[in-house]
Structure formats: structure tokens, C-alpha cells
Amino acid sequence: MRAWRQAAEVLVADLTQIFDGRLRSVLAYGPHIEGDEHTPITCLALVESLALTDLEACARLASRWDRLHLATPLILPSAEFQRSLDAFPLEYGEIVRAHERLFGADPFEQVSISRDDLRRACETQIKSHLVHLRESYIEAGGRPQAIADVVTASAPAFTALLRSVAQLNGDTSASRVESTLNGARAAALPDRIVTAMLGLEQRQAIPVTDGARLFPEYLSAVEHLARVVDRWRS
């Protein structure tokens, strides 16, 4: 058994006790189960109903979950989850791409994310990423360390966007790296910049000067990605 599953099973047992027969599904997803042990273990739990008393019961266990390297679980009533697929297609898309069922049925076997919803969310997120990237560069004031920090801090969001673009183009790879590369290829982005950003997402340190020097190519890649998604048609 992988180490993270032991902690996740504690979470399942706790949620089972709190919600009893109202617990429908628990899934583990995110970077930790894909090999990044530095990040907390993230889980989605679907329940029949969710009351303040349930939140209070969960709050009493929050410190124990934190000690087990468990992020606060995303707990949603099943009906609310189904109605929010169009509102959070990127977030749910990442869960769909790579997750493991811990309890109950897999909710994504019965639902799907609309391609149009995914495209609109991709466009919004990419253009927002571009705006913030430019603003952060200005705020860095030309300091190489600050520019490198901007590139490093934004790497996970950028690679997640590429995985969403991959899904937009029909990619079904569960591999975090492969899905990222597939999204980059679909957008015709240079391998060099994508490989560098993947390295930053996975905490492979690069010298400060390299991070600052990477910025112009990175900015160009995000601008190109925004144009690609803007023109995308199913």
C-alpha cells in the first residue's frame, strides 16, 4: 500500500463516522497521488446532505488531518456537485484526469464536462494568467530574483492550463507530465519552455539568472496560448 493511502483511509473512516449513510463517494486526486510528496493529499467527498453540524464535526478533526499531511477535503452535496460542473470545469477536469476512488462510486462515471464550458474556462483562466504575469513582472522592478520568483510561482498554474488544453483537444492521458506535454503540442508551444516550467512545478531548482532569462519566452508562450484557445473550435 502506498503511504498516502494509509492517511486517506483515516480520512474515509472519519467521514464515514460523521456522515454515516450520507457519505456517497471519496476520491483522492492532485499532485501528491501523482508523486509530489511535498504537497498535501487532496480528496473530494460527496455527501447526500451537508449541515453546519457536519462542518463542526469536521473542524474538530482538522488538526489531526493536517498532521497526517491531508488537505482539508472538498466536501460537496452530490446535487450541488452535479450542478457545478459547468462552473468549475478546469478544477473538475484535473480530478477527472487522474484520481483514485477510495469509497463508494466514482461520480465521474455518470457525468461529463462540456467541451464548451471547458473552452470558456480555459480562455478566462489563460487571459487572467497573462494579465497577472505582466503585472507581476512590472512589480518585480527588473530584479532578477524577483522575476525568477514570478516564473516559479506561476509554473503550476501554467502547466495546469496546458493540461486543460490537452483535455480540450481530447487527450485522456492520466500522466501529469504527458498530459502537460500533449497540451503544449496541441498549442504548438516549444518543448524547451514547457520542459523548463514542468521542472519548476516539480521543484527542480534552476539558477536565478535562468529564471529571469526564461521570462520573455514564457510570456510569449502564454500570449500564444491565449490566442490558440481564443480561436479554438470543437
pLDDT digits (tens, 9 = 90+) for 174-228: 888 999 999 999 999 998 899 999 988 876 555 544 778 899 999 999 999 999 9
Q: What angle do CA 114, 118, 121 make, to 5 degrees?
A: 140
User: What integer pLDDT is reported at residue 208 of this predicted model?
Assistant: 43
Name the CATH topology of 3-109. Beta Polymerase; domain 2 (3.30.460)
User: What integer pLDDT is reported at residue 204 of this predicted model?
Assistant: 54
Amino acid at 65: W
CB-facing half-sphere around the CA of 56: CA atoms within 13 A: 3
Give CB contacts under 8 A, 24+ apart, made by 133-136: 133/218, 133/219, 133/222, 134/219
Parallel, antiparallel, or unpaired: how do β-strands 23-29 and 42-47 relate? antiparallel
pTM, two decimal places:
0.79
Contact 26, 103 (CB under 8 A): yes
Cell of 140: 518585480
Given the candidates 1.10.3470, 1.10.10, 1.10.287, 1.20.120, the CATH classification of the domain at 115-231 is 1.20.120
Low-confidence ranges of the chain (pLDDT < 70): 1, 203-209, 234
Domain locations in the chain? 3-109, 115-231
Task: Give 100's contacts (C-beta < 8 A, 6+ positions apart).
Answer: 27, 28, 29, 33
What does each C-alpha distance from 49 to 26, 57, 81, 111, 173 come to in angstroms?
Answer: 14, 14, 11, 19, 33
Counting beta carbons within 10 angstroms of the beta carbon of residue 227, is it exposed (0 to 12), middle (13 to 18) or buried (19 or more)? exposed
Cell of 14: 472519519
Cell of 82: 452535479
User: What integer pLDDT is reported at residue 3 of this predicted model?
Assistant: 82
